[in-house]
Amino acid sequence: MKRIPRILLKKPILLGSITFVVNLVISMSPVLYLHGKHVAHYKSIPSFNTQLLIEEQDIVYSALFYSFIFAFIISILITFLAFFLKKSYLEVENLSHFDGLTGLYNRLMFMSVFQKEIQKVKRNRDYLFLVILDIDDFKPINDTYGHLIGDEAIKITASTLQQLLRASESIARFGGDEFIISIVDQDKNAASTIVNRILNEFNNKTIPVSRNHDQQELQINLSIGYTLYRNDDDFKTMLQRADQALYISKEAGKNTATFLA
């Protein structure tokens, strides 16, 4: 039931049509009901005056006409208001679901999507992987080149990851320079294939930077940790294992990936 107002807000014409019908029913029903009562009363009178009935019918037709006009005007106003609110609603919804810098899912949206993936793999027995990665030595990048270059590194990383992933895989900016990916596949080696593809791509990924008027190429490397869903796992337990794997990759010298089952 909570989804019904959202659906109506996203469909202004439907909302206006419903408003028109509801207003028409509410305004016309009493008029028609009372008119029916009066007609029955008049016909029960022996000396029934047809002229009175005709005069009342004229009044009823006028009332119905004005009810129609009123309902139509209200529905038009509601439709225009809904169009205005729809834009604001979609903007708010976008902010609540997506990261402002990269356009990827944000943390909360990813968690919601991942919980659904867990329920799916419980039914169809596919393999579900959780991959977490971050940019190596990101703090020195910010300290050396500034936060604008840091933001550019994050955006380039996000767009590159999106290009490397399939449409069925979900990705989010998890916070700062961290990204998180869910992979569902029938192949148990699917995550290893994708992770190696990511590492190979970022071995040659650079962005142009300027330091003291000297043009340079800044290398972007990633450290990755990933894990596989096992019975009774939830997002938290998988995240803990993937985080631990990421830590191992960092300790091993960075620019590498570690898998923990």
| Residue 88 and residue 128 in one domain | no
37, 43 in Cβ contact below 8 A? Answer: no
| Residue 58 and residue 93 in one domain | yes
Q: What is the pLDDT of residues 81-99, one digit of tens each?
A: 767 666 665 565 666 788 9
Residues 61-79 as b or e (16 or more Cβ within 10 Å = b): eebbeebeeebeebbeebb
82 in a domain, yes or no? Answer: yes
**Which pair of tokens denotes residue 178?**
């961290």
240 in a domain, yes or no? Answer: yes
| Residue 159 and residue 238 in one domain | yes
| Residue 71 and residue 176 in one domain | no
135, 175 in Cβ contact below 8 A? Answer: no
Residue 146 dihedral angles phi and psi, to the nearest 5°: 100, 165
24 in a domain, yes or no? Answer: yes
| Domain with 156 in it | 107-260
| Residue 56 and residue 35 in one domain | yes
| Residue 10 and residue 117 in one domain | no
102 in a domain, yes or no? Answer: no
| Residue 71 and residue 137 in one domain | no
| Residue 92 and residue 111 in one domain | no
Q: How many C-beta atoms lie closer than 10 Å to residue 23's C-beta?
A: 19
Q: What is the pLDDT of residues 120-160, one digit of tens each?
A: 998 888 999 999 999 999 999 998 888 999 999 999 999 99
| Residue 137 and residue 25 in one domain | no
| Residue 133 and residue 9 in one domain | no
Boundary-marking domain end, from 63, 97, 131: 97
Boundary-marking domain end, from 97, 126, 144: 97
Model pLDDT, residue 201? 95
Model pLDDT, residue 2? 44
Task: Measure Cα distances from 178 to 102, 136, 139, 161 in Å.
Answer: 12, 10, 12, 12
Q: What is the pLDDT of residues 166-225, one digit of tens each?
A: 999 999 999 899 999 999 999 999 999 999 999 999 998 888 887 767 788 889 999 999
166 in a domain, yes or no? Answer: yes
| Residue 112 and residue 221 in one domain | yes
* Helix spans in 203-259 (H): 235-251
48 in a domain, yes or no? Answer: yes
Model pLDDT, residue 8? 54
188 in a domain, yes or no? Answer: yes
Model pLDDT, residue 187? 93
| Residue 91 and residue 116 in one domain | no
- Between CA 257 and CA 66 the distance in angstroms is 72
**Bigger pLDDT: 165 vs 43:** 165
208, 216 in Cβ contact below 8 A? Answer: yes
Boundary-marking domain end, from 97, 126, 158: 97
200 in a domain, yes or no? Answer: yes
Domains identified in the chain, total number: 2
pTM > 0.85? no
DSSP symbols for 97-109: HB-TTT-SB-HHH
CATH number of the structural domain spanning residue 231? 3.30.70.270
Confidence of residue 69 (pLDDT cuts 50, 70, 90): confident
